[in-house]
C-alpha cells in the first residue's frame, strides 16, 4: 500500500508506514521537545517503544496516564507533564480516549482554569484565547475517529458526566493514519471499536438534519465498514481490512458533525453510570434503538441496507446488525454486561439530558429511553 495524502478536514497521511513520516514532519515544523500522550495499556506494549525509536533527533517525553473513559484529572495531569518537560508539541498516540486527552493537554498547558470550564455548555465557558502547541495524532484503533475531530469528550471527575470541548483550534495539524498500528488489536477491541465506527456512520446518516455532504460520507463509511469489520476481527493481519476500518472510522467522525442519535445518548449514559467502553455500549444498544427508529425513516433504512448488501431492504437491517454482532463476538444483553434495574433511573436521567438524541430520526422522550434500556436488558 502506498501512502495517500489529502486534507479533509485536516492534512492526513494515510497508509501502512505513515508513522515513519512523523519525525521529519515535526522537525520541519520546528518541534524539538514533543510529549507523547497515550494510555496505560499501550505504554506497556512494544508499539510505544518502537514508535519512540522512530523519533530520532527529538527530545521525547511520555505521559501515559490515560485509562478508561478520559477524565478531567487525566487532562490536567497531562498538562503538568507537558510543562515539566518544557514541551513544544503533543503527539497523540492511541485510541479515542488517548486522542481526546491529547487534543486538550496543550490547551491546559497554556491556559488557566480547569478543562471542564472550556466545555461548550459550561455556564461561564472560558475562551481559547491563543494558539495551542503543535499537535499531531496517530490512531491505534478504528472506532471513534477522534483523530480528525475538532472536539474532545472529557468526563467530570466526580459525576462522570461527559462534557464536550469544541473548537477548530484543537484539530490536529496533521493526522498520520497508519493501519499497521492496529494489527495487534485483540479481537474484542477490534469488534467494539468497529461497531463504534459503524454507529457513527449509521446515526449520522439517519439524522434528519440537512447536510447532504455528510450523508454521502456516512453512507460510504457504512459501506466500507460493513464489508471489512468481520475480516478485521477474524483475520487480524489482513492489512486491507484494517485499512478499511481505519478509513470508515475517520469517515464516521467527519460525518457526525451532522450530529448523531439516541444510540449515542444511551451509550453516553452507560459510560457515565457503568464505566462501559463506548464502542461496546453502542454495540449493545444499536439494534434495539434501530428497531425502534425504523418506522420513522424507512427510505433511509432501505439505502443503508443497499450499501451493506442486505437482501430484503431496510426491514432486514436490524436483523443484519444482530447477526453482525454475533459474528464478531459481541453477545449478550446489558444485564450480562453488569447493567441492572438499579442503574435504570440514572441511565434514563443522563440519556434524556444528552444532546445527541435531539437529532434522532424519531423524537425520544424520557419514557422512550426507559423502554429502550429495559428492552436491551
42: CATH: 3.40.50.1970
Domain that holds residue 66: 4-182
β strands within 11-150, DSSP E? 11-14, 34-39, 61-66, 89-94, 134-139
Per-residue pLDDT of 41-69, as tens digits, reads 999 999 999 999 999 999 999 999 999 88
Query: Looking at the structure, do residues 113 and 255 belong to the same domain, yes or no?
Result: no
295: CATH: 1.20.1090.10
CA 235 to chain centre: 23
pLDDT at 314 over 70: yes
Report the pLDDT averaged over residues 177-183. 97
Q: pLDDT class for 160, splitting at 50, 70, 90?
A: confident
Query: Looking at the structure, do residues 209 and 280 belong to the same domain, yes or no?
Result: yes
Q: Which of 182, 207, 227 is the last residue of a domain?
A: 182
Query: Looking at the structure, do residues 152 and 255 belong to the same domain, yes or no?
Result: no
For 24-53, b where at least 16 C-beta lie within 10 A, e where not — what string? ebbeeeebeebbbbbbebbbeeebbeebbe
Q: Which of 182, 212, 245 is the last residue of a domain?
A: 182
Report the pLDDT averaged over residues 345-353. 97
Of 325, 175, 187, 185, residue with least CA distance to 251 = 175
Position 69 scores a pLDDT of 83
Query: Looking at the structure, do residues 216 and 295 belong to the same domain, yes or no?
Result: yes
Q: Return mean pLDDT, the chain.
A: 96
Biggest CA-to-CA distance, the chain? 60
Dist CA 299 CA 302 (whole Å): 5
Query: Looking at the structure, do residues 245 and 328 belong to the same domain, yes or no?
Result: yes
Query: Looking at the structure, do residues 147 and 25 belong to the same domain, yes or no?
Result: yes
Query: Looking at the structure, do residues 316 and 192 belong to the same domain, yes or no?
Result: yes
Q: Rounded to 5 degrees, what angle do the CA atoms 95, 53, 61 make? A: 65
pLDDT at 1 over 70: no
Query: Looking at the structure, do residues 154 and 270 belong to the same domain, yes or no?
Result: no
**Helix (H/G/I), strand (E/B), else coil: 202:** helix
Per-residue pLDDT of 361-370, as tens digits, reads 999 999 999 9
Query: Looking at the structure, do residues 156 and 175 belong to the same domain, yes or no?
Result: yes
Number of domains observed in the structure of the chain? 2
Query: Looking at the structure, do residues 231 and 318 belong to the same domain, yes or no?
Result: yes
Per-residue pLDDT of 63-116, as tens digits, reads 999 998 899 999 999 999 999 999 999 999 999 999 999 999 999 999 999 999
Query: Looking at the structure, do residues 177 and 206 belong to the same domain, yes or no?
Result: no
Per-residue pLDDT of 212-263, as tens digits, reads 999 999 999 999 999 999 999 999 999 999 999 999 999 999 998 899 999 9
Q: Which of 182, 214, 238 is the last residue of a domain?
A: 182
Query: Looking at the structure, do residues 315 and 173 belong to the same domain, yes or no?
Result: no
User: What CA–CA distances, in Å, run from 305 to 58, 139, 219, 309, 337?
Assistant: 49, 29, 10, 6, 29
pLDDT at 2 over 90: no
Amino acid at each position: 500500500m502506498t501512502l495517500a495524502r489529502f486534507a479533509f478536514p485536516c492534512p492526513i497521511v494515510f497508509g501502512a508506514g505513515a508513522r515513519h513520516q512523523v519525525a521529519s514532519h515535526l522537525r520541519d515544523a520546528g518541534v524539538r521537545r514533543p510529549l507523547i500522550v497515550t494510555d496505560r495499556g499501550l505504554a506497556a506494549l512494544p508499539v510505544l517503544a518502537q514508535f519512540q525509536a522512530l523519533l530520532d533527533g527529538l527530545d521525547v517525553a511520555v505521559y501515559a496516564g490515560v485509562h478508561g473513559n478520559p477524565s478531567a484529572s487525566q487532562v490536567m495531569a497531562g498538562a503538568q507533564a507537558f510543562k515539566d518537560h518544557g514541551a513544544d508539541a503533543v503527539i497523540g498516540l492511541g485510541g479515542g480516549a488517548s486522542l481526546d486527552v491529547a487534543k486538550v493537554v496543550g490547551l491546559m498547558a497554556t491556559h488557566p482554569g480547569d478543562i471542564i470550564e472550556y466545555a461548550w455548555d459550561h455556564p461561564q465557558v472560558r475562551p481559547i484565547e491563543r494558539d495551542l502547541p503543535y499537535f499531531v495524532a496517530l490512531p491505534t484503533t478504528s472506532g471513534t475517529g477522534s483523530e480528525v475531530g475538532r472536539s474532545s469528550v472529557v468526563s467530570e471527575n466526580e459525576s462522570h458526566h461527559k462534557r464536550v470541548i469544541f473548537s477548530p483550534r484543537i484539530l490536529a495539524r496533521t493526522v498520520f493514519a497508519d493501519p499497521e498500528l492496529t494489527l495487534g488489536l485483540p479481537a474484542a477491541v477490534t469488534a467494539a471499536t468497529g461497531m463504534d465506527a459503524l454507529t457513527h456512520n449509521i446515526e449520522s446518516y439517519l439524522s434528519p438534519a440537512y447536510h447532504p455532504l455528510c450523508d454521502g460520507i456516512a453512507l460510504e463509511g457504512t459501506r466500507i465498514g460493513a464489508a471489512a469489520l468481520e475480516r478485521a476481527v477474524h483475520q487480524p493481519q489482513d492489512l486491507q481490512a484494517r485499512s478499511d476500518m481505519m478509513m470508515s472510522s475517520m469517515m464516521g467522525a467527519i460525518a457526525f458533525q451532522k450530529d448523531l442519535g439516541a444510540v449515542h445518548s444511551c451509550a453516553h449514559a452507560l459510560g457515565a453510570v457503568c464505566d462501559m467502553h463506548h464502542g461496546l455500549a453502542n454495540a449493545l444498544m444499536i439494534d434495539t434503538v434501530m428497531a425502534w427508529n425504523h418506522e420513522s425513516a424507512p427510505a433511509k433504512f432501505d439505502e443503508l441496507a443497499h450499501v451493506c448488501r442486505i437482501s430484503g431492504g431496510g426491514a432486514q437491517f436490524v436483523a443484519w446488525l444482530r447477526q453482525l454482532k454475533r459474528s464478531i463476538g459481541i453477545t449478550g444483553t446489558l444485564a450480562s454486561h453488569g447493567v441492572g434495574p438499579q442503574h435504570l433511573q440514572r441511565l434514563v436521567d443522563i440519556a434524556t439530558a444528552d444532546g445527541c438524541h435531539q437529532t434522532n430520526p424519531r423524537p425520544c422522550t424520557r419514557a422512550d429511553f426507559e423502554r429502550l434500556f429495559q428492552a436491551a436488558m
